[in-house]
Amino acid sequence: MNLPEINPDLGGSLEINQEGLVEQAQYIASPNHDARPAPGDISMVVIHNISLPPQQYGGDGVVELFTNSLNPDEHPYYAEIQGLKVSSHFFIRRDGNLLQFVPCTMRAWHAGVSEWRDRQRCNDFSIGIELEGSDFDAFEQGQYSTLNRLLAALVERYPIQDIVGHSDIAPGRKTDPGPHFEWSKIQHKSRINPKI
């Protein structure tokens, strides 16, 4: 899958419309979502990292995974995850380019088995943001810039109370966004989990 290179104008603020789409993002619809149990309950952001193949950047693997079009013959790891039905609301590439796969108003399948503040099934009430990266590499400044603009838009539109890592809601099972994610670069510290 060769997608056109789209670099949205991320100068200034991002706008989220009534359908839960960021107007400046490239929207690629993922089938891997469903309705939230309580549509108005969008109170948390979960930050992840992802790269496909692992630790390789710039390809179409993540897009193909989220759209169920990953070819298991292209890489040995793809054969291992064949049939996996996952998605995230957003994906921020290494250059800061922003893609959206699921409207914020819908439930993306990003968190898996998870718990936060005695609430299970974090997909029900969270927004998932995937950063192109891994536990082994530093993230790019452009990614932090886009992430902060996105977080500002989310906090303005929805009653966000917590911004956490995948490892915070699935400890022992998940490690992302990983040791190289710099929480100090997140501007919404009043909403961040207490480890900051």
**Residue 90 identity (one-letter amino acid):** F
* 3 state SS of 165: strand
180 contact partners, CB below 8 Å, separation of at least 6: 133, 135, 136, 137, 138, 139
Cα 154 off chain centre by: 13
* 3 state SS of 141: helix
Element (H, E) at 149: helix 141-157
Residue 147 to residues 12, 81, 98, 118, Cα–Cα distance (Å): 13, 27, 9, 27
Active site residues: 130
